[in-house]
Structure 1
């Protein structure tokens, strides 16, 4: 990060705030508030907001305020359709290219995912879970699809944080062990299936959380 330009560092920091739920869906923030929180200048913050707005991770509310879009059931369905079309495909391609050392790296990341679940550490879970998926997909070499996936995760990440807050970390979707076993056995199609099941479980939990949020009490 230290070797990156200042505007890229600010972009990634705000992106992570969205991705890992530090900024909640519907939460309004100001440009000045981000400047103060990140202890940076207004120009890189504006540029980061412009990029994240173009990516759909943020939306303008007027009067220099921006917020994380609130996920609707319809939007969740669109995201699920796109993720299920792309991510298992990337996983299957990656499975045919990965070496033993690459699989061992994934195992180490998954160990951190499991540790976060045991400890109830929501932020660590979200970070390590994201790292597991993006590390796996990176081995596909499909840069365009990989960038699309990161955009989809920016849309769904904040709502996954809500799931963690509502239900805790103990029952979170995790088909990583199945994916790793299939990777070790050279079963690329089964790697794709494990990732597909992982996505479906996560989508179902987010849908349930959204339904409970709007249900009358």
Structure 2
């Protein structure tokens, strides 16, 4: 996702996007608190821009404030995860359909290149690279269309689910993942709106949905 970051006008903006990227890549563990001072030291900045970035990320439901100096990625529950998955399906299929008429051959080739990177990440079992390139594939597709309202909602859901996804992938590996991106790019090439909608819905649901119930419960509880 880093390639699409806007140029930074202020230090506060830079810190916000650095933390946002870290959350999206799953570098913060759900339920584990971090301090404002610790983040400031990590980024080599004063606490002030960190405080503002944490305020924004808390408003986006990416973090929860535990006290004045500690924040954490929220713990995941089965019910919350189910809601996130269905909300993603609803919003992202709509975003894909809105983007489809605006996609050019150049856009399609970029998506195919990104999917190659997703495939490579799965092959080498690189969880962070998989999450990053998978989200970039989806973001690049949706940004082709007039989705200014939908994208912040979608990205909020990514921020809430990505740390948990990283936890799951670190625990069980990437072997269970079914990549539906080829179906999506084929649908784009043929301008098949229904096929694209089905591919995006399947890609989202099968990411977590392919887990067995026992594996899902173990990941949610933090058991080995």
TM-score by length of 2: 0.91
Shift of 1:203: 3.1
Q: How many residues align?
A: 217
Are 1:163 and 1:206, in contact at CA under 8 Å, matched by a contact in 2? no
Which residue is 2:7 aligned to? Answer: 3
Q: Is the 8 A contact 2:176 2:210 kept in 1?
A: no
Q: Where do 4+ consecutive residues of structure 1 move more than 4 Å?
A: 205-209
Aligned-residue RMSD, C-alpha: 1.9
**Structure 1 gaps, min length 5:** none
Once residues 178 and 58 of structure 2 are traced to their aligned partners in structure 1, the CA distance between those partners, rounded to angstroms, is 29
Separation in 1, partners of 2:12, 2:115: 31
The equivalent position to 2:179 in structure 1, one of 174, 177, 194, is 174
CA displacement, residues 30-77 of structure 1 (integer Å, 9 cap, x when unaligned): 000000111112111000000000111001112511100011111112
Cα distance, 1:200–1:67 mapped onto 2, change above 3 Å: same
Instruction: After TM superposition, give the deviation of residue 2 of structure 1 in Å.
Output: 8.5
Determine the C-alpha separation between the residues in 2 that align with 1:18 and 1:34.
13
Equivalence for 1:72: 77
The residue number in structure 2 matching 1:184 is 189
User: What corresponds to 1:211 in structure 2?
Assistant: 217
Instruction: Assess if the C-alpha contact under 8 Å between 1:106 and 1:135 holds in 2.
Output: yes
Hey, what's the Cα distance between the residues in 2 that align with 1:3 and 1:22? Answer: 23
Instruction: List gaps (5 residues or longer) in structure 2.
Output: none
Q: How does 1:121-200 map to 2 (within 5 A)?
A: 121-200=126-205
- 1:66 partner SS: strand
- Relative to structure 1, the CA distance from residue 110 to residue 62 in structure 2 (aligned partners, 3 Å threshold; closer, same or farther) is same
Aligned-partner Cα distance in 2 for 1:40–1:207: 43
2:222 & 2:18 partners in 1: Cα distance? 34
